[in-house]
Amino acid sequence: MTGSLFDDAPFPPTLPPDAPLAERLRPKTIDEVVGLEDVLGEGRFLRNAIASDRIPSMILWGPPGSGKTTLARIIAKTTRARFVPFSATSTSIKDIKVLMEEARKARLGRGMKTIVFIDEIHRFNKAQQDAFLSYVEAGDIILIGATTENPSFEVNSALLSRCKVVVLPPLERQQVMTILQRAIADPSVQKFGVKLTPDALDFIAATSAGDARQALNSLQLVVETAQGTVDAEEVKKILQRRSLMYDKGGEEHYNIISALHKSIRNGDADAAVYWLVRMLEGGEDPLYIARRLVRAASEDVGNADPQALILAVAVKEATHFIGMPEAGVALAQLATYLAASPKSNAVYIGYGEAVHEVRQGDNPPVPLHIRNAPTRLMQDLGYGRGYQYAHDFDEQTAQMECLPESLLGRRFYEPKEMGLEREIRERLEKMRAARRDTR
């Protein structure tokens, strides 16, 4: 990388006349933004922060086309701070440190704030993310990261703890329609002389999956290739998309994955296959479906059939390995297996009860007798004293309690009378009885 952080380079750069429609029509002010009322409405945190030029470090988390880059550019236009964009694919750790040191000198020497924008921050590896940490902590830079991935998994916890997470929802269908109606009124679109019927616009909005950029790219393709008046059928031909997933009611991505999951939970294999195919034919990422089915294997089948989770992970790997369209059959195999499996949500409920207890409870210390004692001091303090080895007892359970005293007798996991969980229940009851008898 050459040059300096403080070279006079505008952000965003001046757009050429043939730039994509989505770039040319990108909102330039807060009032032009569609669909982010919960984030940018009057009195909201982010609107106030932009208006007062007091931008904190933040992570913008939302699906494609929800407005992350647009927000960053509005901030770039309105802030008095220097705005520096970074690319995960072309920026080395050395480049980061050089530019961060320039930002530190600018703050200390001239009182200049520097906002660093990282698009797709989830593509930065741990070392790259760590390179920003000390500068964020010291206040040398204000970091704005944009990501489509859950920042809890993709952003280092230390960096994440120093940033406010701003969640951007997917655009609703009517909001995408609003954007499309603005676009067709723009002179750069009207010059082509193409008229789109309401059902044509509705189809573009429906098939955009809440992604404004995708909707505008589709509109641009239609107006640049069609002639005269264009209806929905003509749009389907141009975009080579079928409307199978999106009827006039316009079921959205989240509605259909909910239908798939709830059909499996209800033991309806036929409905499960139908909703699975609706998602795949609509262009859904098969790995997303596989991940949701892995969740269903634990949440709804659980220990009633532990084989379900093994099969779910195997199908996830098969989906990754062979891809579509072949992976569709493997996903259908898993969906029907899960639907037909005995069901138990006992693990799901038990996990939730334990989470609730930990979050609202006193979190008492680990009982001394089940603590590890690797040092003499710990032994002298009683760590491990009184521990009993379960394998030395007939029922493979000792009389000692493993919960803190304040939680004695608390049941978090209550197996049901379904599938293998019936046997698990019997074994647990035998061990509980053996502990009672020993006491």
Question: Which CATH number goes with the domain that contains 128?
Answer: 3.40.50.300
From first CA to last CA, the distance across the chain in angstroms is 72
CATH number at residue 387: 1.10.3710
Task: Say yes or no: 327 and 221 in one domain.
Answer: no
Q: Give the integer Cα–Cα distance in Å for 198 and 161.
A: 46
Report pLDDT digits (tens) over 244-282.
443 433 445 778 888 999 999 999 999 999 999 988 877
* 427 inside domain: yes
The CA–CA distances, whole Å, from 98 to 53, 115, 135 equal: 26, 15, 12
Task: Say yes or no: 370 and 410 in one domain.
Answer: yes
CATH number at residue 278: 1.20.272.10
Task: Say yes or no: 281 and 332 in one domain.
Answer: yes
* 359 inside domain: no
Beta-strand pair 114-119/82-86: parallel
The CA–CA distances, whole Å, from 110 to 6, 95, 140 equal: 12, 22, 12
CATH number at residue 185: 1.10.8.60
Range in 32-36, 80-84, 323-327 with the lowest mean pLDDT: 80-84
Q: What is the DSSP letter of 323?
A: -
Q: Does residue 4 have a pLDDT over 70?
A: no
Q: Does residue 317 have a pLDDT over 50?
A: yes
* 431 inside domain: yes
Total number of domains constituting the chain: 4
Task: Say yes or no: 25 and 159 in one domain.
Answer: yes
* 355 inside domain: no
Task: Say yes or no: 26 and 142 in one domain.
Answer: yes
Mean per-residue pLDDT for 92-111? Answer: 81
Tokens of 80: 């008095």
Residue 400, SS3? coil
Residue-level pLDDT at 431: 87
* Residue span of the structural domain in which 391 resides: 364-438
Tokens of 128: 């790259």
Report pLDDT digits (tens) over 226-236.
888 989 888 98
Residue 145, SS3? strand
SS3 content of the chain, % helix, strand, coil (to 5): 55, 5, 40
